[in-house]
Amino acid sequence: MLLLPALAFGLWNRPAHAEEKPVEIPAPAIALAETGTTATAVFAGGCFWGVQGVFQHVTGVKNAVSGYAGGSAETATYDLSSTGTTGHAETVEVTYDPSVVSYGELLQIYFSVAHNPTQLNYQGPDHGTQYRSTIFPVDDAQAEFAKAYIAQLDATGLFGAPIVTTIEPLKAFYPAEQYHQDFLTLNPTWPYIVYNDLPKIAALKSLFPDAYRNEPVLVGTL
């Protein structure tokens, strides 16, 4: 994949790391009332390459866009957010059909295979607040639902450590640069992708076979 020269070195040298093991977890004990055929969920869980790739393989997802949330428009770039000083987290905006896949099911996948929710301000090899585990609810109903599900999962003890996922107001979502979109699909042999992200796709297929779609829904050109 062609990258801007100044960025190619940094992206290639994101260190590989032993993949995070998925955790089989229960579905939410309650359901969130959802209507219509289009809804939005916004998640941060480490490098957005893998999080985007996971949700692109979920049936009922219409689009999954990598981007930034938590900071201002002026600092919503890879170069600036990578400093960890902008308030942004690498984030994925998921557009989905709630008549096919619910917000609760997306949260179950998010906590189970998309990332490790017990790692504070890092995810695998990536360290800094820009890699924090955060849910950005689009409304109060999503916020309360996510809070209740975190409490439910913590009570199970399945993760072996407390969940550190934060719930932050969604001020705005800013799409990432084009070269970050569909990165997992376009670069399946990159060492970082092979070691950190392809196992997440395999775990999605194994743990959520009814939700798995073989052909990902891609962003294409923004």
> What is the dihedral angle through the alpha carbons of 159, 160, 161, 163, rounded to the nearest 10 degrees?
10
Residue 34, exposed/middle/buried by CB under 10 A (0-12, 13-18, 19+)? middle
Q: Give yes or no for residue 51 having a pLDDT over 60.
A: yes
Q: What pLDDT is attached to residue 15?
A: 44
Does residue 8 lie within any of the structural domains? no
| Residue 171, domain extent | 34-207
Those residues whose C-beta lies under 8 Å from the C-beta of residue 25, and which sit 6 or more positions away, are 108, 111, 112, 153, 156, 158
pTM for the whole structure: 0.92
Beta carbons of 131 and 46 less than 8 angstroms apart:
yes
Does residue 27 lie within any of the structural domains? no
Point out the catalytic residue in the list 47, 146, 153, 184. 47
Counting the structural domains of the chain, the total is 1
Does residue 156 lie within any of the structural domains? yes
Does residue 123 lie within any of the structural domains? yes
Beta carbons of 17 and 196 less than 8 angstroms apart:
yes
Instruction: Note the pLDDT tens digit of each residue in 121-150.
Output: 999 999 999 999 999 999 999 999 999 999
List own/partner pairs for 145-150 with CB under 8 A and 24 or more apart.
Answer: 145/28, 145/30, 145/32, 145/103, 145/104, 145/107, 146/107, 148/28, 148/29, 148/30, 149/28, 149/104, 149/107, 149/111
* DSSP one-letter code for 68: E
How far apart CA 8 and CA 121 sit, in angstroms, is: 24
Mean pLDDT of the chain: 92
pLDDT-derived band at 9, boundaries 50, 70, 90? very low
Does residue 183 lie within any of the structural domains? yes
Residue 78: φ, ψ to 5°: -65, -45
Does residue 43 lie within any of the structural domains? yes
* DSSP one-letter code for 160: S
Instruction: Note the pLDDT tens digit of each residue in 155-193.
Output: 999 999 999 999 999 999 999 999 999 999 999 999 999
Does residue 143 lie within any of the structural domains? yes
pLDDT-derived band at 20, boundaries 50, 70, 90? low
CATH code assigned at 148: 3.30.1060.10
* DSSP one-letter code for 29: S
| Structure-block tokens of residue 115 | 């990332």
Tell me whether residue 47 is one of the annotated catalytic residues: yes
